[in-house]
């Protein structure tokens, strides 16, 4: 049986045993569960005072994430290598963490034209937990192991467990299972000395401190996790060459807004007029990357397609006709 708890520094033998079995003992050591002095008397404040207090606390989130940038960068490169080699990025979470994971995974296909299976999420309670609370599932190690086992993680994959507390049994167990199967594992948490650290190859800690409403980790902790996941997928897709300069060149043009975005991207990247951009996109089979390579490298569609295949979809390298290396 995998353990999903941890002991705390300075505890004696009896204290260690208590920390493994007593939820109250576990929670009292978590900064995310501590009471925030800045929001004392919160229920007596005016609407403007409430907004100011929350805003003041939210301002701490970016600074907390900044401290984890070296670890985030390592995960970015690992995800890029994995996706390039045919692997997957699989998020695992519960509650707010799971919903953030689902959001990030669902936004990759329209933003970068990734296949739906490349970036996935697993959430305690399944898809129905996105809209309805099914928090009881997050206490089950067995369910966590079962759900990740169904995805059959391999050495090609990156599995990221998200847990604000760092001790969610479902997430810890699933992350440990994936690591045992050879997947590269990372953890995103908001507490130091988290149990999930023992289940992952690398730990990203964004210690945002106590929440305005004690224990309400859908606030600062969730914001920090959202920022981290934004960095990981945006960074990985950029490293793979799905971004040219700072333009979303791999956009999936499935509706009128995205078609217009594709046209404007081509106009900016190539300094051309709208009519030229529209005609080139049409001749490129409605593919912005193909159109961009055609214009920048001054080649026809078959040659642009060949170059993109050679560079594994990296637009800049396709323009330069070189090979992707990570």
User: Does any domain span residue 16?
Assistant: no
pLDDT confidence tier of residue 8, bands split at 50, 70 and 90 = very low
User: Does any domain span residue 273?
Assistant: yes
Domain enclosing residue 149, as ranges = 61-239
Residues in the chain, total: 326
Same domain flag for 213 and 304: no
CA dist 148 and 153 (Å) reads 7
The residue from 33, 57, 71, 138 that is catalytic is: 138
CB 266 within 8 A of CB 280: yes
Q: Domain ends where: 239, 264, 286? A: 239
pLDDT confidence tier of residue 26, bands split at 50, 70 and 90 = low
Same domain flag for 225 and 126: yes
The pTM of the full predicted model, rounded to 2 decimals, is 0.86
For residue 300, pLDDT over 70 is answered with yes
Would you state the pLDDT for residue 252? 81
Instruction: Work out the angle between the directed axes of helices 141-149 and 169-180 (0-180°, nearest 10).
Output: 40
User: Does any domain span residue 42?
Assistant: no
Helix (H, G, I), strand (E, B) or coil at 187: strand
Residue-wise pLDDT tens digits, 190-217: 999 889 999 999 999 999 998 889 888 8
CA dist 107 and 113 (Å) reads 10
User: Does any domain span residue 261?
Assistant: yes
Q: Provide the domain count of the chain.
A: 2
Percent of the chain with pLDDT over 90: 73
For residue 14, what are the contacts with CB-CB under 8 A and spacing of at least 6? none
**232: domain CATH number?**
3.40.50.10490
Residue-wise pLDDT tens digits, 217-254: 899 999 999 999 999 999 999 999 999 999 999 988 87
Q: Domain ends where: 239, 264, 279? A: 239
Same domain flag for 217 and 185: yes
Would you state the pLDDT for residue 182? 97
**274: domain CATH number?**
1.10.8.1080
What would the mean pLDDT of 153-178 be, rounded to a whole number?
96
Active-site residue flag, 138: yes
What would the mean pLDDT of 244-268 be, rounded to a whole number?
89
């Amino acid at each position: 049986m995998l353990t999903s708890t941890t002991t705390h520094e300075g505890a004696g033998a009896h204290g260690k045993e208590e920390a493994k079995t007593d939820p109250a003992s576990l929670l009292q050591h978590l900064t995310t569960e501590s009471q925030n002095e800045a929001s004392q008397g919160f229920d007596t404040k005016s609407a403007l005072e409430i907004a100011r207090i929350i805003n003041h606390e939210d301002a701490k989130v970016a600074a907390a994430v900044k401290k984890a940038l070296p670890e985030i960068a390592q995960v970015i490169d690992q995800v890029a290598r994995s996706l390039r080699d045919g692997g997957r990025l699989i998020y695992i979470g519960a509650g707010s963490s799971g919903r953030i994971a689902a959001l990030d995974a669902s936004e990759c296909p329209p933003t970068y034209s990734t296949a739906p299976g490349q970036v996935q999420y697993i959430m305690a309670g399944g898809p129905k937990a996105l809209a309805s609370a099914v928090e009881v599932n997050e206490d089950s190690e067995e369910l966590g192991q079962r759900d990740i086992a169904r995805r059959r993680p391999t050495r090609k994959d990156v599995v990221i467990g998200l847990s604000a507390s760092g001790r969610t049994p479902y997430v810890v167990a699933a992350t440990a299972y994936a690591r045992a199967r050879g997947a590269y594992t990372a953890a995103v948490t908001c507490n130091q000395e988290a149990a999930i650290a023992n289940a992952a190859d690398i730990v990203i800690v964004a210690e945002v401190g106590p929440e305005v409403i004690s224990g309400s980790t859908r606030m600062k902790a969730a914001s920090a996790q959202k920022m981290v996941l934004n960095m990981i997928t945006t960074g990985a897709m950029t490293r793979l060459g799905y971004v040219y300069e700072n333009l979303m060149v791999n956009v999936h043009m499935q509706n009128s807004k995205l078609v217009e975005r594709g046209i404007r991207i081509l106009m900016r990247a190539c300094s051309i007029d709208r009519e030229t951009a529209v005609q080139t996109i049409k001749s490129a089979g409605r593919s912005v990357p193909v159109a961009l390579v055609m214009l920048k490298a001054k080649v026809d569609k078959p040659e642009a397609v060949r170059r993109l295949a050679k560079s594994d979809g990296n637009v800049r390298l396709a323009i330069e006709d070189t090979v992707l290396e990570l």
